[in-house]
Amino acid sequence: MVNVICTKWGDLYSPEYVNKLYGMVARNLKRPFRFVCVTDDPRDGIRPEVEIIPMPRIDLPERQRNWPWRKVSLFAPQIGDLEGVTLFLDLDILIVGGLDVFFDYPGEFCVIENWTQPGSKIGNTSVYRFVVGAHADLYEHFMRDPQTIVNTYNNSQTFISRYLGETMTYWPAEWVKSFKVHSVPPFLLRPFVTPKMPEGVRIIAFPGDPKMPDAAQGKWPGGPHKFIRRTPWIDDHWRE
């Protein structure tokens, strides 16, 4: 039995994102698993197969209270009754291939090498594997002075990367790709070329805009200069 977890707070993501993430995991993970949504705001509409665990305490300055810094809480000594090897998945991802390899890959803390900062030793925490409680020192370090840490680092994944340092192992580059970086064609080709699915990819991340439902319909919020063609293959995977 392994753990797969996601986080949800506030109303940025609807229960649909949790439900469809579960569906994608169930279709692509062969071994037995617990699927857990760690949240401070449980709501109706989440499918019954998903376990709900309260988000561990995290002290954040008011301005950053609903920022991704909240994911640092997953490094707490305890997350409900979870134990052992755990795969974290952001809600804004598309699973298109098998997930068992993410549990078999060697490493203490496995994470994406951030696509936009290659060689900078910064992990992208959209997809990472860890052992619950194994890095409680990171959480405790943050909780001693959250204001200073938030002021020092651009974002939570930079703080996590700098703290964990050499204990990080990167996934093979082809396993996890960015929709905007690796699927969307160059600007001048966007009216004519449909975004592609990268070869060998297992997970496609959608940080920022567009998210999966918009991209599937050819929508890119942000103004007339933002344009992509409809990407129908997204709907083949983003479903319950």
End-to-end CA distance of the chain: 22
What per-residue confidence (pLDDT) applies to 225? 82
Could you tell me if 59 and 165 lie in one domain?
yes
CB distance 160 to 123 below 8 Å? yes
Residues spanned by the domain of 191: 176-234
Kindly report the backbone phi and psi dihedral angles of residue 142, in degrees, each rounded to the nearest multiple of 5, phi listed first: -65, -45
Sites in the chain below the pLDDT cut of 70: none
- Residue 161's nearest CA partner among 37, 56, 71 is 71
What per-residue confidence (pLDDT) applies to 43? 73
What per-residue confidence (pLDDT) applies to 88? 98
Could you tell me if 148 and 195 lie in one domain?
no
The residue from 124, 149, 170 where one domain ends is: 170
Say if 239 falls within a structural domain.
no
Could you tell me if 215 and 153 lie in one domain?
no
CB distance 174 to 197 below 8 Å? no
> How many domains in the chain?
2
Say if 119 falls within a structural domain.
yes
CA pair distance 37, 52, nearest whole angstrom: 5
What per-residue confidence (pLDDT) applies to 205? 98
Helix (H) or strand (E) holding 6: strand 2-8
What per-residue confidence (pLDDT) applies to 66? 84
CB distance 240 to 26 below 8 Å? no
What per-residue confidence (pLDDT) applies to 168? 97
